[in-house]
A and B are shown apart, each in its own frame.
Chain A
Amino acid sequence: MEIPYVTQPRRDTGLYNAKVGIWLFLASEVMLFGGLFASYIMLRVGAPEGTWPTDLLDVPIGTINTVVLILSSVTVVLAWSALKLKNFKQYRRFQAVTILCAVTFIVIKSFEYREKFTHYDVVLVTGERVDGHLKERGEDEQGEEYLVLSHPVSYPAVNGIAYRPEAVREQKKSGQIDADRRIAQSEVKSIKNWSPAANTYFAIYFTMTALHALHVIAGALVIAWIWGPGASLWKTDPERYINRVEVSGLFWHFVDLVWIFLFPVLYLL
Chain B
Amino acid sequence: MEATQTQAQRQSVHETHHEQGPGFLRQYIFSTDHKIIGLQYAVTALCFLLIGFFLMCLMSWSKAYDMAAVPVLGPLLETLLGNAAAEGKISPDLYNSFGAMHGTIMVFLAIVPMVFAAFGNYIVPLQIGAVDMAFPRINMASYQFYFLGGVVMLTSFFIPNGAAQAGWTSYSPLATVIETDGQTFWLIGMVLLITSSLLGAVNFIATIIQLRAPGMTWMRMPWFVWVQFVTAFLLLLAFPPLEVAALMQLMDKLVGTSFFLPTGMALTSGEFATAESAAASGGGSALLYQHLFWFLGHPEVYVLILPAMGIVAEVISNHARRPLWGYRTLVYSVLAVGFLSFIVWAHHMYLTGMGTFISAFFQTTTIIISIPSVVILTCLFITLWGGSIRINTPPMLFALAFLPMFGIGGLTGLPLAFNFADLHLHDTYYVIAHFHYVVAPGTIFGLMAGIYFWYPKVTGRLMNDYWGKVHFWASLLFMNIVFMPMFYQGMKGMIRRQHDGGAGYSSARNPDGIGGLDDTVMEFNTVILMGALMLGLAQIPFILNFFLSLKYGEKAASDNPWRATTLDWQTPTPPPHGNFRQPPEVVRGPYDYSLPGAKEDFVPQNQPA
Chain A residues within CB distance 8 Å of chain B: 1-7, 10, 13, 15-18, 20-21, 24-25, 27-29, 31-32, 34-36, 38-39, 42-43, 46-48, 51-52, 123, 157, 159-163, 189-193, 195-201, 203-204, 207, 211, 236-240
Contact = CB atoms under 8 A, between A and B. Distances in A.
Interface stretch (B171-179, B182-190, B270-278, B565-573): B270-278
B267 interface: yes
A108 B275 CA distance: 34
Contacts of B201: 24, 28
A1 B131 contact: yes
Contacts of A16: 210
B243 A20 contact: no
A200 B283 contact: yes
A17 to B, nearest CB: 5
B4 A237 contact: yes
A39 B259 contact: yes
Contacts of B288: 39, 42-43, 46
Given A4-B131, A198-B281, A199-B281, 11 more contacts: A2-B9, A2-B13, A13-B209, A17-B135, A17-B210, A21-B202, A42-B285, A51-B282, A190-B277, A200-B282, A204-B259
Given A2-B131, A15-B210, A43-B288, A203 B7 contact: no
A195 to B, nearest CB: 7
B282 A47 contact: yes
Contacts of A163: 280
A46 B283 contact: yes
Closest 5 CB pairs of A and B: A197-B256, A203-B257, A200-B282, A35-B241, A35-B244
A31 B579 CA distance: 35
B250 to A, nearest CB: 10
- Determine chain B's interface SS by DSSP, over half rule: helix
14 contacts: A5-B210, A15-B210, A20-B209, A24-B205, A24-B236, A25-B198, A28-B237, A28-B239, A34-B240, A160-B279, A196-B256, A197-B255, A197-B265, A203-B251
Nearest to B262: A46
A174 B504 CA distance: 65
A108 B279 CA distance: 32
A200 B132 contact: no
Nearest to A29: B240
A17 B206 contact: yes
Given A3-B132, A203-B251, A203-B257, A240 B8 contact: yes
From B5, B132, B276, name the one whose CB has the most chain A CB atoms within 10 angstroms: B276
Interface in B426-440: none
Interface string B230-251: 0000001111110111011001
Nearest to A37: B244
Given A2-B9, A2-B13, A29-B240, A201 B282 contact: yes
B13 to A, nearest CB: 7
Given A17-B206, A20-B210, A191-B272, A198 B8 contact: no
A101 B5 CA distance: 35
Contacts of B236: 24, 27-28, 31
B180 to A, nearest CB: 21
A17 B211 CA distance: 9
A16 to B, nearest CB: 8
B240 A28 contact: yes
Contacts of A18: 135
A225 to B, nearest CB: 14
A161 B239 CA distance: 36
Interface string B1-28: 1001101110111001000000000000
A47 B248 contact: no
B562 interface: no
B276 A28 contact: no
Nearest to B255: A196
Contact of B11 (A39, A43, A207, A237): A237
Nearest to A6: B12
A261 to B, nearest CB: 15
Given A197-B257, A200-B258, A51 B247 contact: no
B513 interface: no
Given A3-B134, A39-B244, A159 B251 contact: no
A17 B251 CA distance: 36
Contacts of B16: 2
Contacts of B529: none
A68 B202 CA distance: 31
A21 B257 contact: no
Contacts of A191: 271-272
Contact of B198 (A10, A28, A46, A157): A28
B13 A5 contact: no
Nearest to A129: B276
Contacts of A47: 282-283
Contacts of A7: 5, 8
B136 interface: yes
A207 B248 contact: yes
A236 B211 contact: no
Contacts of B7: 236-237
A197 B266 CA distance: 8
B284 A200 contact: yes
Contacts of B247: 207, 211
Contacts of B258: 197, 200, 203
Interface in B110-133: 130-132
Contacts of B266: 197
A13 B211 CA distance: 11
Nearest to A36: B244
From A34, A35, A196, A236, name the one whose CB has the most chain B CB atoms within 10 angstroms: A35
